[in-house]
Structure 1
């Protein structure tokens, strides 16, 4: 698919400006001043008004309604504790930790406030998941670092906090023709309903550094993954929403 076509897929349709509507009004006035009977002029004005209303409705139908807002479901963040850890010792010392090296070579640490889960690796790397707010993920990471300090590792430091991935969901409020979308956008889509009911859409426009993967379902539900902050999620959804509107059932 060419770069021009790809760019056109993610361009947000422009909202009609007041200037364009004034120009349309001026056009209607000019029509009324043209020669011909008043009845013919009235019909021309009526037809032109309907055309303008239809064009405005088409544009507005592809603009995301404020009620259709992506909601964060999970945040994945990472922290480095600057210290090698004895995972077995931490699992014995901490009441909210468990260690089963046969399943995963990391200590699983769960917190209730804020509600999140951490994976502690021997290298000192800590992965945090389950939080819905960045501040909660950061606070949870700091609490886990303190638990490690109290478990016999006083050199532990909370450093290099980084948002790795945000998972968000949204509802388009209308069903989507996934077959048509998969065919027209086959360079970006992977759709195998026999294996998975959702369509995988890889979002990476040439004019944007943002990379994301969207899971689209017939019901209109959308899952957005791969973004680093909430603004990126909103930008991705705002750009993909007009495309989805073209495949409304």
Structure 2
């Protein structure tokens, strides 16, 4: 079993209703420059929390979904403390980014021929792009055996995708 290292968990959500950007931008810790970006940023719980006028929220920079969810809760508390109403809070993990190593050098030309839904064009990118269907995510695999998995909706799904790929490589006698 390959051990994955979670690098980033992205959580998306909504605080239920639109919020006035001008009021948000005056809250303590708010970072807002409308000429650069339409959202207000906060650093909460070690994460970057971005809230838009529509009430949509994005949390990046977390290593766990729980930390990102806690950051949203902290934002909601900050809004409540400033008498900004929030509706039903919805949130979900949108993207897990992780890295891993197979600990073997690979012939990417051969690997790309045995792994379904893989694309290898060494003139444009030094790795293989593998689009996994179940679980749905994308794996970037390099000749060094290092890989990056993006787009999974949970850490478990990212781990499953990496380990399924490892099993396919073993069955195809690439390791």
TM over 0.5: yes
Q: CA shift at 1:143, angstroms?
A: 0.5
Q: Could you say which structure has the greater relative contact order, defined with CA pairs below 8 angstroms and 6 or more residues apart?
A: 2
* Structure that is richer in strand per residue: 2
Q: After superposition, where does 1:146-161 map in structure 2 within 5 Å?
A: 146-153=77-84, 155-157=85-87, 159-161=89-91
Q: Which residue of 2 aligns with 1:108?
A: 41
CA contact 1:75–1:133 (8 Å) conserved in 2: yes
Q: CA shift at 1:116, angstroms?
A: 0.6
Q: Does 1:199 align with 2:128?
A: yes
Partner-residue secondary structure (3-state), 1:190: strand
Q: Does 1:241 align with 2:155?
A: no
Q: State the structure with more CA Rg.
A: 1
Q: Which of residues 128, 132, 143 is equivalent to 2:63?
A: 132
CA contact 1:178–1:247 (8 Å) conserved in 2: no
Name the count of aligned residue pairs: 173
CA contact 1:188–1:203 (8 Å) conserved in 2: yes
CA contact 1:201–1:215 (8 Å) conserved in 2: yes
Q: Which residue of 1 aligns with 2:54?
A: 123
Q: Which residue of 1 aligns with 2:26?
A: 92
* Structure that is richer in helix per residue: 1
Q: CA shift at 1:190, angstroms?
A: 2.1
Partner-residue secondary structure (3-state), 1:99: coil
Q: CA shift at 1:93, angstroms?
A: 2.1
